[in-house]
């Protein structure tokens, strides 16, 4: 079999798997062990000298997790990958490994909730400052770089407004200045965007979403150079003990097999639902990076190979009650956080706005985010259409 490490079918179905070493089983084994033993003192000494060099203890390397690491690194076009217990753990470790007291971080505005908590509530206690800037204005964003900026944090597309950053332009300036760049690439998954190709250093995704695809496990991924992954592994990964467990890694391997088919289907569903929403009088406008109406459509086409699943729209509604009524009426769409699984979801921005502060003139109060799962498009559209009747 040809070994094309860039061929997605090869990566998902073959790379990293060594069937002969586990009874020719097609599915990889779950090596559910905490510990690994040695025959000689010399072997144990070697293992202790470099914990990234072999199996010693499952807080570090584990063979099931290693199969997953190889596949995830190859999907991103990266040298190496680390897999964490969830996305927040991956964010935490990637950032902590690259900053120290006195440093400055430049972040895109509105990163994921627990990413901004890390910036505002934890790092601030250690003398690390953060500037949030609008990533849709590349010049303005870059102009916020300071003498002590050590890390640039991106999230493209962002998961509510779906706005994007110019990865190539920002990556280039950061390289010139020796600043580490990190991106939350969860919206696209490696199949629809490969930030390393544009000069980004560390790519993060929560595997809880598309990699798992079944809403039955959490996981988080960092990919990047061998040197960067080694630095994170030998410090934050081993120290925080936030690596993924073998069984959860196995669930993610299982999810990876169907990743392309799931994204293809969700992409088709997304196009059908977008067309429907545009025809719906109660919809003011939609937000979706690969829709021609999107302000950054050209940039999205340049750096993203696809987009699907998450779409946001502004609903025409005079009160929070109307919006709540619409969401409560949906039956095919479940009301929940997260996304990336088989089940379609809805979440209105007004869920976190007290009723007496709701302002119908502020479009952001009327923003609704949908996640489209694996159901038939017609099934979802019928549900939306029924709920819109109450508006
Ligand atoms: C964009 C984004 N980044 C990071 C995370 C955190 O991932 P996890 O929930 O796996 O910790 C989430 C979770 O919702 C997310 O949506």
Judgement on whether residues 248 and 310 belong to the same structural domain of the protein: no
Judgement on whether residues 328 and 297 belong to the same structural domain of the protein: yes
315 Cβ contact partners less than 8 Å away, ≥ 6 residues apart: 282, 283, 284, 322, 323, 326, 366, 368, 391
Give the per-residue pLDDT at 149.
98
Burial class of 256 by CB neighbour count within 10 A (0 to 12, 13 to 18, 19+)? buried
Q: Domain range holding 32? A: 8-257
Helices marked H in 50-166 — which ranges? 63-76, 87-96, 113-117, 138-142
Of all protein residues, the one whose alpha carbon is nearest to atom 9 of ligand 1 is 87
How many angstroms separate the CA atoms of 366 and 351, rounded?
A: 10
Q: Are 293 and 311 in contact (CB under 8 A)?
A: no
Q: Are 335 and 346 in contact (CB under 8 A)?
A: yes
Q: Given 257, 288, 323, which residue is the final one in a domain?
A: 257
220 CB less than 6 Å from ligand 1? yes
Q: How far is the CA of 107 from the centre of ligand 1 (A)?
A: 16
Ligand 1 atom closest to residue 158's alpha carbon, by position in its atom list: 1
Judgement on whether residues 133 and 199 belong to the same structural domain of the protein: yes
Give a yes or no: residue 32 inside a domain: yes
Give a yes or no: residue 1 inside a domain: no
Judgement on whether residues 222 and 271 belong to the same structural domain of the protein: no
Q: How far is the CA of 240 from the centre of ligand 1 (A)?
A: 18
Burial class of 40 by CB neighbour count within 10 A (0 to 12, 13 to 18, 19+)? exposed
CATH classification of the domain holding 375:
3.90.1150.10
Q: Given 237, 257, 277, which residue is the final one in a domain?
A: 257
Give a yes or no: residue 2 inside a domain: no
218 CB less than 6 Å from ligand 1? yes
Q: How far is the CA of 366 from the centre of ligand 1 (A)?
A: 23
Please name which of 314, 365, 371 lies closest in space to residue 339, comparing C-alpha atoms: 371
Q: How far is the CA of 160 from the centre of ligand 1 (A)?
A: 12
Instruction: Give the DSSP H or E segment for 177.
Output: helix 167-177
Give a yes or no: residue 184 inside a domain: yes
136 CB less than 6 Å from ligand 1? no
Which of 95, 111, 157, 186 to mutate to test ligand 1, by most ligand atoms within 8 A of the CB atom? 186
Give a yes or no: residue 120 inside a domain: yes
208 CB less than 6 Å from ligand 1? yes
Please list the rounded mean pLDDT of every run of 10 residues in the chain (391 residues).
Answer: 75 97 97 98 97 97 98 98 98 98 97 97 98 98 98 95 97 98 98 98 98 98 98 98 98 98 98 98 98 97 98 96 97 97 98 94 97 98 96 85
Three-class DSSP category at 116: helix
Ligand 1 atom closest to residue 91's alpha carbon, by position in its atom list: 4
Judgement on whether residues 194 and 217 belong to the same structural domain of the protein: yes
CATH classification of the domain holding 143:
3.40.640.10
Of all protein residues, the one whose alpha carbon is nearest to atom 3 of ligand 1 is 112
Which of 83, 112, 252, 339 to mutate to test ligand 1, by most ligand atoms within 8 A of the CB atom? 112
Judgement on whether residues 294 and 216 belong to the same structural domain of the protein: no
86 CB less than 6 Å from ligand 1? yes
Judgement on whether residues 146 and 275 belong to the same structural domain of the protein: no
Judgement on whether residues 132 and 191 belong to the same structural domain of the protein: yes
Which of 155, 202, 208 to mutate to test ligand 1, by most ligand atoms within 8 A of the CB atom? 208
Q: Given 257, 276, 292, which residue is the final one in a domain?
A: 257
87 CB less than 6 Å from ligand 1? yes
**pTM to 2 decimals?**
0.97
Give a yes or no: residue 3 inside a domain: no
182 Cβ contact partners less than 8 Å away, ≥ 6 residues apart: 94, 95, 98, 151, 152, 153, 154, 200, 201, 202, 203, 204
Give the per-residue pLDDT at 5.
64
215 CB less than 6 Å from ligand 1? no
Q: Are 312 and 370 in contact (CB under 8 A)?
A: yes
Judgement on whether residues 229 and 300 belong to the same structural domain of the protein: no
205 CB less than 6 Å from ligand 1? no
Residue positions counted in the chain: 391
How many angstroms separate the CA atoms of 129 and 150, rounded?
A: 11
Give the per-residue pLDDT at 93.
98
Give a yes or no: residue 174 inside a domain: yes
Give a yes or no: residue 320 inside a domain: yes
Judgement on whether residues 83 and 170 belong to the same structural domain of the protein: yes
Q: How far is the CA of 285 from the centre of ligand 1 (A)?
A: 26
What's CA 245's distance to the chain center, in Å? Answer: 19
Judgement on whether residues 188 and 264 belong to the same structural domain of the protein: no
Judgement on whether residues 272 and 167 belong to the same structural domain of the protein: no
Q: Are 148 and 176 in contact (CB under 8 A)?
A: no
343-367: buried (b, 16+ CB within 10 Å) or exposed (e) per residue?
Answer: bbbbbbbbeebeeeebeeeeeebbb
* Overall number of domains in the chain: 2
Please name which of 137, 185, 163 lies closest in space to residue 289, comparing C-alpha atoms: 163
Give the per-residue pLDDT at 126.
97
Residue 23: half-sphere exposure toward Cβ, Cα within 13 Å:
4
How many angstroms separate the CA atoms of 309 and 320, rounded?
A: 25
Token pair for 81:
């990958």
């Amino acid at each position: 079999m040809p070994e094309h490490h860039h061929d997605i079918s090869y990566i998902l179905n073959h790379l990293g798997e060594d069937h002969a070493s586990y009874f020719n089983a097609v599915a990889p084994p779950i090596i559910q062990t905490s510990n690994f033993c040695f025959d000689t003192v010399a072997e144990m000494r070697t293992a202790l000298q470099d914990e990234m060099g072999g199996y010693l203890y499952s807080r570090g390397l584990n063979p099931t997790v290693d199969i997953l690491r190889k596949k995830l690194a190859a999907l991103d076009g990266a040298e190496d990958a680390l897999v964490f217990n969830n996305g927040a753990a991956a964010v935490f470790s990637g950032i902590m490994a690259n900053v120290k007291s006195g440093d400055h971080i430049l972040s895109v505005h509105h990163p994921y909730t627990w990413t901004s908590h890390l910036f505002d509530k934890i790092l601030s206690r250690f003398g690390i400052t953060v500037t949030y800037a609008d990533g849709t204005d590349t010049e303005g964003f870059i102009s916020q770089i300071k003498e002590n900026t050590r890390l640039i944090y991106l999230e493209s597309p962002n998961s509510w407004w779906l706005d994007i950053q110019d990865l190539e332009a920002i990556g280039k300036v950061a390289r010139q200045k020796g600043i580490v760049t990190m991106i939350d690439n969860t919206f696209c998954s490696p199949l629809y965007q490969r930030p390393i190709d544009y000069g980004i250093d560390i790519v993060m995704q929560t595997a809880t979403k598309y990699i798992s695809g079944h809403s039955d496990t959490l996981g988080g991924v960092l990919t990047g150079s061998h040197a960067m992954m080694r630095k994170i592994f030998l410090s934050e990964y081993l120290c925080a003990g936030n690596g993924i467990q073998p069984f959860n890694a196995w669930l993610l391997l299982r999810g990876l097999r169907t990743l392309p088919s799931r994204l293809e289907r969700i992409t088709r569903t997304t196009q059908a639902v977008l067309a429907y929403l545009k025809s719906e009088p109660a919809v003011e406008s939609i937000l979706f990076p690969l829709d021609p109406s999107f302000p950054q459509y050209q940039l999205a086409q340049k750096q993203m190979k696809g987009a699907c699943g998450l779409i946001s729209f502004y609903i025409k509604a005079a009160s929070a009650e109307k919006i709540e009524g619409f969401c409560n009426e949906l039956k095919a769409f479940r009301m929940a956080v997260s996304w990336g699984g088989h089940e379609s979801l809805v979440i209105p921005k007004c869920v976190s706005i007290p009723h007496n502060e709701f302002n119908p003139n502020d479009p952001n109060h009327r923003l609704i985010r949908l996640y489209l799962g694996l159901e038939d498009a017609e099934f979802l559209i019928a549900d939306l259409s029924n709920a819109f009747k109450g508006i």
